[in-house]
């Protein structure tokens, strides 16, 4: 399958590292002009430099903005006013005693993991519907379905994003714009490596630490390993393409079989 996104402009939030970086690379490799988003200009510039080293003919736009704030969302619109593909990837996660999570921390998780995506959808969706074509995706998580005891606030925020995606899909019905969520399973990123070592013996080498983590904390994974960011990106690029024109309102799983249910 040859996916061609030439002539399309994409914005990937939180794309200076991890899953977002892999998604940005995948979209650019398919011909899209891609907005790289992060909170600082220096980090965005460094990420674009790294991407251009691999994809010298690709076009990137620096979108240095904290899109978890009203002002940051407005800045993103100023820097990249018209997009065809919006990937709401920005998110934070971490472990916490569920009885010790403060109201402020709950609010922070919802501001970053939920409201940032809602704001950008509200800003970009009308232009997509006017054109009669667009793709909006939300990077969700298996944790939104199987809420982890050690990160309830994160899991619940990802449950919310599944509802947000389904709701906006209905708002875009019949417009030519598709709206989906992608349920990512346990994925191998730098942040996840730190997370794993919060839960397992820090003296273990990475391969042993990963096995210990999957055995004790994600035992239902059928893949029985962490997913690589590029594997998440492959699904996102497909859903952003014309080939996925009949897929909307869906919660598409790239979870390594972790969620023990047929739907979603």
> Any idea which of 106-110, 133-137, 203-207 has the lowest mean pLDDT?
203-207
Homologous superfamily in CATH for domain 9-187+230-252? NAD(P)-binding Rossmann-like Domain (3.40.50.720)
Give the sheet arrangement for strand 9-12, strand by strand: 60-64, 33-38, 9-12, 85-88, 134-141, 177-184, 251-254
Per-residue confidence band for 68, with pLDDT thresholds at 50, 70 and 90:
very high
Residue 19 has pLDDT above 90, yes or no: yes
Contacts of 110 (CB under 8 A, 6+ apart): 157, 160
What global pTM score does this model have? 0.95
DSSP state of 245: T
Catalytic-role residue among 109, 124, 138, 154: 154
pLDDT tens by residue, 29-59: 999 999 999 999 999 999 999 999 999 999 9
Which residues of the chain are in CATH 3.40.50.720 domains? Answer: 9-187+230-252
Kindly report the length of the chain. 264
Per-residue confidence band for 133, with pLDDT thresholds at 50, 70 and 90:
very high
Continuous segment of H or E residues that includes residue 38: strand 33-38
What are φ and ψ of residue 24, in 5° steps?
A: -60, -45
124 is catalytic: no
Contacts of 113 (CB under 8 A, 6+ apart): 90, 91, 92, 154, 157, 158, 160, 161
What the block records as the tokens of 214 is 């999957």
Instruction: Work out the average pLDDT over 207-230.
Output: 92
Q: What local confidence, expressed as pLDDT, does residue 195 receive?
A: 85
pLDDT tens by residue, 156-200: 999 999 999 999 999 999 999 999 999 999 999 888 898 899 999
- Whole-number Å distance between alpha carbons of 255 and 258: 6
Cβ atoms of 73 and 44 closer than 8 Å: no
């Amino acid at each position: 399958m040859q996916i061609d996104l030439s002539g399309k402009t994409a914005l990937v939030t939180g794309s200076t590292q991890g899953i977002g970086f892999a998604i940005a690379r995948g979209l650019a490799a398919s011909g899209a002009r891609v907005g790289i988003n992060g909170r600082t200009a220096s980090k965005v510039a460094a990420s674009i430099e790294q991407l251009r080293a691999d994809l010298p003919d690709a076009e990137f736009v620096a979108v240095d903005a904290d899109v978890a704030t009203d002002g940051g969302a407005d800045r993103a619109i100023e820097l990249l006013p018209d997009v065809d593909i919006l990937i709401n990837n920005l998110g934070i996660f971490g472990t916490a005693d569920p009885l010790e999570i403060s109201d402020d921390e709950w609010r922070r998780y919802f501001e970053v993991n939920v409201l940032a995506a809602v704001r950008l959808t509200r800003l970009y969706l009308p232009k997509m519907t006017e054109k009669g074509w667009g793709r909006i995706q939300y990077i969700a998580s298996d944790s939104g379905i199987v809420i982890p005891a050690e990160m309830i606030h994160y899991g619940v925020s990802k449950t919310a994003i599944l509802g947000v995606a389904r709701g906006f899909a209905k708002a875009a019905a019949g417009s030519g714009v598709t709206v989906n969520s992608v349920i990512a399973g346990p994925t191998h990123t730098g942040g996840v490596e730190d997370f794993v070592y919060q839960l397992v013996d820090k003296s273990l080498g990475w391969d042993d630490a990963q096995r210990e983590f999957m055995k004790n904390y994600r035992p239902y994974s059928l893949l029985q390993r962490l997913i690589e960011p590029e594997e998440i990106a492959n699904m996102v690029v497909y859903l952003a393409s014309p080939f996925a024109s009949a897929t909307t309102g869906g919660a598409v799983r790239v979870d390594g079989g972790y969620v023990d249910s047929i739907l979603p």
